Every structure is written in structure tokens, then in C-alpha cells.
Amino acid sequence: MSRFRAQRDAGEGGVILVELVIVLPLLLMLAFGLCDMGLAWRDKVTVETAARAGARSGSNLGNVALTDYNILQTVLSGLGSIPRGNVDEVVVFNADSSGTVPSQCKGGTPVSGLCNVYLPSTFSLPSTSFGCNGGPDTWWCPTSRVVSQAAGTDYLGVYVKTHRSALTRLIAVGGFNISATAVFRLEPQS
């Protein structure tokens, strides 16, 4: 009986190798897919936090001339682990309490009295380029924002859109598009 068992065990070495060749790629794809989802989740939380921090900063500053510059700097620093090259746009918009981003603003086009759109080319502009003097914040000028309690203060929204390349093509063929919106009421100024 032991001779029969020894012959059978000797012949199974190839079977184990074949099973390993079949199962290992599936396990690796599953592991990389889980890594992709985990990294995308982390980026989603980071983008949401950065959008809230930017909106909170803008809410506190109200109608100060460099409000949008400070919002942009707050958002970019809040994105921390996300490379600046992965940030597609930051939109500062005149929101209602529902927080819906105007569709034309999401498309990358600023609209007078409604939104300012900041694309990667504007991320490194100095503060002197801001202040409603023909700069990127001219469309919805910070100094024109309503901060009077008697008149009813404006709501300020910040929309941040980023992307992440996928480690594998298993879960996300083109990668992940990640966006977040935060809306705060402007603090009444005296």
C-alpha cells in the first residue's frame, strides 16, 4: 500500500504546478483590483476633504479680493497625496442651498456672475493675478459676493475634479474620475 501511495504522490507534482499556473493570475488580478479600489477610495476621501476645506476658507473670507486665490491654495494643499498633474479643475461657483454645480461650469467654461473655473494652467499663478482685475476670478468676482445679513448672504460652492490611472484594466478601463462638491453659506460681514 505504501508503494502505491508513493507512486501517486510522485505523479501529483505536475498537477500542483498546473493548478498554480491557473489560480495565481486570478489571485493577482483580484489583489491588484482591490488595491485599485482602495487607492481610488482614499483619493475620493481626500478630494472631498479638500473641497470642504476650500469652501470653508471661502466662506470665512467672504468678499475679500483674494478669496478665490486662497480657496485654490487651500484645495491644492488639501489634495496632499494626489499629484497636481491629476487635478483636472477646481470650480468656485455661486450656489444655492442644494449645492448643484452648474453644468456649463463643470464643462470648464466660466460664466459671468455664476462661476470661476480654474484649470491646471492657473494653479501656479501668483496672488497678483487675482483680485478681479482681468484675472481668472473675474467671472464671479469675490468683491461682488453678498455678505450682508440683511440682503441674504450668498452660498459659495467648490467643485474639485481629479483623475487616477488604474493599476490594472480589470476594474476601471480608463482609470477613475473622482470629484467632490462642498457648499457653505458666506459668513455675514459687519
CA distance 74 to 50: 7
Could you tell me if 109 and 171 are in contact, meaning their C-beta atoms sit under 8 angstroms apart? no
**In which residue are the cell numbers 459659495 written?**
156
Could you tell me if 117 and 108 are in contact, meaning their C-beta atoms sit under 8 angstroms apart? yes
Distances 59 to 43, 50, 148 between C-alpha atoms, Å: 24, 14, 13
What DSSP state is assigned to residue 111? B
Predicted confidence at residue 37, as pLDDT, reads 87
Contacts from 53-57 at CB under 8 Å and sequence distance 24+? 53/78, 54/78, 54/90, 54/92, 54/158, 54/160, 54/182, 55/156, 55/157, 55/158, 55/182, 55/183, 55/184, 56/182, 56/184
Could you tell me if 187 and 86 are in contact, meaning their C-beta atoms sit under 8 angstroms apart? no
CA distance 71 to 20: 53
- Give me the residues paired with residue 181 across strands: 159
Predicted confidence at residue 35, as pLDDT, reads 87
Q: What is the pTM of this model?
A: 0.85
pLDDT tens, position by position, for the chain (190 residues)?
666 565 555 566 678 888 888 999 889 888 888 888 898 899 999 999 999 999 999 999 999 999 999 999 999 999 998 999 999 999 999 997 677 899 999 989 999 999 999 999 999 999 999 999 889 999 999 999 998 887 788 899 999 999 998 877 666 677 899 999 999 999 987 6
